Structure formats: structure tokens, C-alpha cells
């Protein structure tokens, strides 16, 4: 199954829902950054949720999410646009722990529970929205649920899951965001909470071959919800040699001369995709002001 997401609304107009299958994009991130299993799960959950959040905006808007929980992973950063392009990295990719007491990858231990989740929306024309909440569980889905409830005041349920093969490649990944619209009564919210309580892990559903549509049908009932958009999602970085060159120019002539004299060139690696860019002495010379 290709990676894609669907946007849907219940027919009574009270709940909007997004679901995504992201196995391939999480595998792309894993192979580029050589993340170990627990790190793959943490990064994969974050990338999945960010990819959905990116498509909730319009036009040129971009969303950046940063999770700093104080755990061994260090910061997790992801950004996404409205086209379904997402990229991200984790500061320390070589983190892996034994499964937790529920038999799952111990994401909260890797993320930590003593920091913050930050969301920055660049809505274009210098219009920024920033929200920040403390980490409440370190399991990432619950942290985004808390973020929506407190920072955006939208009652939501956010879930994301990643299953890892014994060889560390990604077996299955996916996620959902479900949001209650203004005007929904307590009964609607309570019913949703009940349905989610007994809902299987989304990574398991993806592994069984369930599509994002089928996952929402299972949650709400096929006759109760309508899919109104389907969009491919993929890992795509926006780095380029030109962007790195601009950054080098920004360091100033003195710094560039030091690279030429001491290193006979420069090498820069993109944090997000691990692409390596080389600059010769001549290229560096040309970047001076
Ligand atoms: Zn890159």
C-alpha cells in the first residue's frame, strides 16, 4: 500500500477525521538516519502526525513540530507542508530499549517526560502561530492530544504507531487525528471516547492491510462518515546546495577563509535527510561577500 492520507467528516458535521498510512516515508527516514528501533518509532510517530497536521492548512503554509522531552533521543524535529511532504530527524538516532510492559516499543522512555512539545505554524505573509505544551506522556500521540486540547482548545484524539521488523526496517506505520467541531454535544464526545477506548492500535491495522478509509469506517461506521479528500504523503527534504551555500555565506568572510586555509574545502550535512554537500576551495572563494 502506498503512503497516503484521507480527510473525512462525519455526516452530522460534528467530527472531522484524518487518517494516514506512512510505512514507506517512515522507512525512508529510518534508512537515511539509521535510527534504531525505539528511535524509529518516536520519529515515525512524529513524522506521521506532522504529515497530517501539514495538510490541515492551506496554500504555502508549513508546520514545524519540536519535541524535547529530556530523554536520550534529544530533540525530535519534523516539518510538513500542505502537499503531504514531510521531513524530520531525531538528535540521537542510536537509541533502543527493551519493549515496555505492554510489549510495545518504549517510546516514552526514549523521548523523556520532562520537556515540551512545540508547534510552529508558518501561515505565510509573516503570520506565525506558536503553541507549546509540557510533555504529558512521551508517547507522542497523547502529547499531541493534550496539545490540541490546551493550546488550540479543540477536543481531539491523536494516535500514531510504528511497527519495526527484526532487521530494523519499518513493518507498518500510520496515524490519525480526530477533532470535535464546535457545536458538538457531550454525548458525541463521550461516544467517540468509548469507540477509541476499544480501538485496535493503528499500526496493527496498517500491518493487516487496512487502508486509511477502512480505519475511519471501522471507527465511525461506513455510513456515518464521508471521505472528501485523498492525498499522497512522502518524505521529501527541501535542502539544496544553493541553500547550504547561502548559509555558508552568512558565516562571513573570515569564517569562509578559515575553511579554505584549514580544511581546503567544506562539507555540510543536512540534518533532515543526511545528504552531504561538498564545497571546493574555489566554490568557497566564490561565496565570500
Ligand atoms: Zn535535506
For residue 74, the CA-to-ligand 1 centroid distance in Å is: 19
For residue 90, the CA-to-ligand 1 centroid distance in Å is: 14
Q: Is 162 helix (H, G, I), strand (E, B) or coil?
A: strand
For residue 2, the CA-to-ligand 1 centroid distance in Å is: 22
For residue 184, the CA-to-ligand 1 centroid distance in Å is: 42
CATH domain 241-287 topology: CBS domain Like (3.90.1280)
For residue 88, the CA-to-ligand 1 centroid distance in Å is: 9
Query: How many Cβ atoms are within 10 Å of 130's Cβ, its own excluded?
Result: 11
For residue 15, the CA-to-ligand 1 centroid distance in Å is: 36
For residues 105 and 59, what is the distance between their CA atoms, to the nearest angstrom? 36
- What does the pLDDT read at residue 232? 98
- What does the pLDDT read at residue 182? 87
For residue 272, the CA-to-ligand 1 centroid distance in Å is: 5
For residue 267, the CA-to-ligand 1 centroid distance in Å is: 14
> Which one-letter DSSP state was computed for residue 31?
H
* In the chain, where the domains are located: 4-235, 241-287
For residue 269, the CA-to-ligand 1 centroid distance in Å is: 8
Pick the CATH number of 4-235 from 1.10.10.1100, 3.55.30.10, 3.40.190.10, 3.40.50.720: 3.55.30.10
φ/ψ of residue 200, rounded to 5: -65, 165
Interior/surface letters 259-280, b for 16+ CB within 10 angstroms, e for the rest: bbeeeeebebebebbbeebebe
For residue 31, the CA-to-ligand 1 centroid distance in Å is: 14
- What does the pLDDT read at residue 287? 92
For residues 242 and 286, what is the distance between their CA atoms, to the nearest angstrom? 12
Over the chain (289 residues), what is each successive 10-residue block's mean pLDDT?
A: 96 96 98 96 98 94 97 97 97 93 91 96 88 96 96 94 96 97 87 89 96 96 96 95 92 93 91 92 92
For residue 265, the CA-to-ligand 1 centroid distance in Å is: 20
- What does the pLDDT read at residue 40? 98
Query: How many Cβ atoms are within 10 Å of 99's Cβ, its own excluded?
Result: 11
For residue 244, the CA-to-ligand 1 centroid distance in Å is: 10
For residue 92, the CA-to-ligand 1 centroid distance in Å is: 17
- What does the pLDDT read at residue 189? 85
For residue 87, the CA-to-ligand 1 centroid distance in Å is: 8
For residue 245, the CA-to-ligand 1 centroid distance in Å is: 13
- What does the pLDDT read at residue 125? 79
- What does the pLDDT read at residue 132? 97
For residue 4, the CA-to-ligand 1 centroid distance in Å is: 22
Q: Note whether 145 and 158 are within 8 A (CB).
A: yes
Amino acid at each position: 500500500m502506498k503512503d497516503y492520507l484521507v480527510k473525512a467528516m462525519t455526516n452530522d458535521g460534528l467530527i472531522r477525521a484524518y487518517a494516514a498510512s506512512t510505512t514507506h516515508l517512515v522507512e525512508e527516514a529510518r534508512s537515511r538516519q539509521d535510527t534504531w528501533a525505539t528511535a524509529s518509532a518516536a520519529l515515525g510517530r512524529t513524522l506521521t502526525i506532522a504529515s497530517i497536521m501539514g495538510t490541515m492548512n492551506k496554500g504555502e503554509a508549513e508546520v514545524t513540530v519540536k519535541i524535547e522531552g529530556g530523554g536520550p533521543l534529544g530533540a525530535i524535529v519534523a516539518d510538513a507542508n500542505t502537499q503531504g511532504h514531510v521531513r524530520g530527524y531525531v538528535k540521537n538516532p542510536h537509541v533502543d530499549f527493551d519493549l515496555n510492559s505492554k510489549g510495545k516499543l518504549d517510546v516514552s522512555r526514549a523521548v523523556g517526560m520532562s520537556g515540551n512539545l512545540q508547534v510552529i505554524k508558518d501561515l505565510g505573509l509573516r503570520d506565525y502561530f506558536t503553541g507549546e505544551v509540557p510533555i504529558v506522556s512521551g508517547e507522542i500521540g497523547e502529547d499531541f492530544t493534550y496539545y490540541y486540547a490546551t493550546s488550540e482548545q479543540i477536543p481531539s484524539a491523536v494516535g500514531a504507531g510504528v511497527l519495526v521488523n527484526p532487521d530494523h526496517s519499518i513493518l507498518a506505520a500510520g496515524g490519525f487525528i480526530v477533532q470535535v467541531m464546535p457545536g458538538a454535544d457531550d454525548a458525541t464526545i463521550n461516544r467517540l471516547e468509548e469507540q477509541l477506548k476499544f480501538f485496535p492500535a493503528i499500526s496493527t491495522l496498517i500491518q493487516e492491510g487496512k487502508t486509511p478509509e477502512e480505519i475511519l469506517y471501522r471507527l465511525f461506521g461506513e455510513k456515518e462518515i464521508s471521505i472528501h479528500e485523498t492525498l499522497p504523503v512522502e518524505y521529501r527534504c527541501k535542502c539544496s546546495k544553493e541553500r547550504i551555500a547561502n548559509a555558508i555565506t552568512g558565516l562571513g568572510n573570515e569564517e569562509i577563509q578559515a575553511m579554505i586555509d584549514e580544511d581546503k574545502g567544506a562539507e555540510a550535512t543536512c540534518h533532515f535527510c543526511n545528504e552531504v554537500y561538498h564545497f571546493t576551495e574555489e566554490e568557497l572563494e566564490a561565496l565570500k561577500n
